[in-house]
């Protein structure tokens, strides 16, 4: 998929700006705070439905205005164009989408995954440095872009989880219903929650079995060392190691359901005392580990250097790109926000030499220092340079 052009109106620090993109490489440069990242954020909104920086829509409305609009024109591999329009109205607090002038009622069903995108920025380090929710979000988004069924299971699980938490909280706060009625309702909620949870877990296991090959290859490309990376799925009620390390093992959904049901029963007193659900895939984690050439393994979050974190995250993102490309048969857009300034010169040279193997790329940086290296791998017509100043393309 290619993004031919984008039009911004009252988005962040842009009054109105249209940008026509190169089908290969787009190099956006300028001082910090001028609006380079805002262009990538606008792309993420119309590709992904949300800001890749996790910003809210009201944050993206230009100061002293009431709404913003972002229009984009995509083109698939056979030349068919898709016109996407996004509007956010801060008065009505409403976000609306149109695809080819038809209103989209459910973004996740009609758009999500159609225009795949992979973004890498300094914020991406939260995947390794941050809370388990950051790691779950990374893999959930990856899986949801390739599986509508998974997205439906996840949406239903979140809905039933909210219902259960509200039920537990009301009971704890004294808004109690009769004991028998409460337990019957809680058992019904737990049964449905277990059904969705087991479906989610099995698909997460399957994803990791497929993804680990992409990740290992990307990681080995980035480093000359003999470090061996590993991703382990942690679930406190189910031993996942055998299922994720052995592709031939097929997980029995009834086995997962039984394990979760038993865990919920064990933790019921704790859940009622705390007023919140403590069992389920919303509590799970992905454990990132490295084994050094000394054969000493350690958990990345607690013991890795900053360089090791960066290498791990970049490998995750490159693996994400290839996984989506192969799974969807549709090359994602690759958004690289201030990537090169975060790396040493050796990794910069290696990544630049490799970028030609990807599809359409959008890179932001503070200067034109890397343009010489890029010209070694791209013809002049395959790179567009955009100088950004104060919310305008000036060159």
Q: What is the pLDDT of residues 291-315, one digit of tens each?
A: 887 677 888 988 888 888 988 999 9
122 part of a folded domain: no
One domain for residues 275 and 375: no
Q: What are phi and psi of 146, to 5 degrees?
A: -110, -5
User: Where does the pLDDT of residue 106 fall: very low under 50, low under 70, confident under 90, or very high at 90 and above?
Assistant: confident
CATH number of the domain to which 211 belongs: 1.20.1050.90
315 part of a folded domain: no
| Exposure class string for 268-281: b at 16+ Cβ within 10 A, else e | beebeeeeebebbb
β partners of residue 87: 69, 96
Distance, CA of 339 to CA of 220 (rounded, Å): 19
One domain for residues 105 and 151: no
User: Where does the pLDDT of residue 49 fall: very low under 50, low under 70, confident under 90, or very high at 90 and above?
Assistant: confident
Task: Count the domains in the chain.
Answer: 2
Q: Which domain holds residue 18?
A: 2-116+330-393
Entry pTM: 0.91
One domain for residues 10 and 139: no
150 part of a folded domain: yes
User: Where does the pLDDT of residue 20 fall: very low under 50, low under 70, confident under 90, or very high at 90 and above?
Assistant: very high
- pLDDT for res 343: 66
One domain for residues 158 and 274: yes
Q: Is there a contact between 256 and 198 (Cβ–Cβ < 8 Å)?
A: yes
The label of the residue with tokens 């300094």 reads 122
One domain for residues 107 and 37: yes
One domain for residues 293 and 355: no
Mean per-residue pLDDT, 94-119: 87
200 part of a folded domain: yes
Query: Is 342's pLDDT higher than 70?
Result: no
Distance, CA of 139 to CA of 127 (rounded, Å): 10
One domain for residues 245 and 155: yes
Distance, CA of 266 to CA of 105 (rounded, Å): 41
- pLDDT for res 154: 94
325 part of a folded domain: no
Q: Is there a contact between 218 and 322 (Cβ–Cβ < 8 Å)?
A: yes
Which long-range contacts link 346-350 to residues 24+ away (Cβ below 8 Å)?
Answer: 347/222, 347/311, 347/314, 348/373, 349/373, 350/221, 350/222
- pLDDT for res 377: 83
Cα of first residue to Cα of last residue in the chain, in angstroms, is 26
One domain for residues 270 and 209: yes
> Could you tell me what percent of the chain has a pLDDT over 70?
94
- Out of 235, 268, 303, pick the residue that ends a domain: 303
Mean pLDDT over each residue of the chain, to the nearest integer: 90
């Amino acid at each position: 998929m290619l993004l031919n052009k984008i039009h911004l109106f009252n988005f962040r620090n842009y009054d109105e700006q249209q940008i026509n993109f190169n089908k290969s490489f787009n190099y956006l440069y300028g001082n910090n705070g001028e609006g380079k990242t805002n262009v990538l954020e606008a792309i993420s909104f119309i590709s992904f439905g949300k800001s890749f920086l996790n910003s809210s829509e009201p944050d993206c409305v230009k100061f002293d205005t009431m709404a913003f609009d972002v229009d984009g024109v995509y083109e698939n591999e056979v030349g068919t164009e898709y016109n996407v329009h996004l509007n956010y109205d801060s008065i009505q607090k409403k976000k609306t989408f149109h695809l080819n002038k038809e209103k989209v009622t459910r973004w996740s069903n009609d758009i999500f995954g159609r225009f795949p995108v992979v973004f890498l920025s300094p914020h991406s380090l939260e995947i390794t440095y941050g809370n388990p929710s950051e790691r779950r979000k990374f893999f959930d988004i990856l899986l949801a872009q390739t599986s509508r069924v998974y997205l439906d299971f996840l949406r239903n699980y979140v809905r039933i989880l909210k219902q259960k938490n509200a039920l537990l909280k009301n009971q704890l706060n004294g808004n109690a219903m009769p004991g028998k009625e409460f337990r019957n309702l809680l058992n019904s909620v737990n049964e449905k929650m277990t059904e969705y949870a087991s479906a989610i877990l099995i698909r997460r296991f399957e994803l990791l079995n497929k993804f680990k090959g992409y990740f290992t290859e990307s990681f080995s490309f980035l480093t000359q060392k003999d470090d061996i990376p590993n991703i382990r799925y942690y679930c406190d009620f189910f031993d996942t190691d055998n299922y994720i390390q052995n592709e031939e093992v097929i997980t029995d959904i009834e086995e997962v359901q039984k394990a979760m049901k038993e865990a919920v029963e064990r933790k019921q007193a704790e859940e009622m005392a705390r007023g919140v659900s403590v069992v389920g895939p919303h509590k799970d984690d992905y454990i990132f580990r490295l084994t050094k050439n000394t054969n000493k393994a350690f958990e990345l979050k607690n013991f890795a250097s900053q360089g090791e974190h960066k290498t791990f995250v970049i490998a995750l993102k490159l693996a994400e790109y290839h996984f989506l490309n192969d799974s969807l048969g549709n090359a994602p857009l690759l958004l690289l926000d201030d990537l090169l300034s975060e790396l040493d010169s050796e990794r910069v040279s290696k990544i630049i030499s490799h970028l030609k193997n990807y599809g359409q790329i959008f890179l932001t940086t503070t200067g034109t220092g890397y343009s010489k290296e890029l010209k070694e791998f791209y013809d002049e017509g395959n790179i567009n340079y955009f100088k950004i100043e104060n919310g305008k393309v000036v060159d």
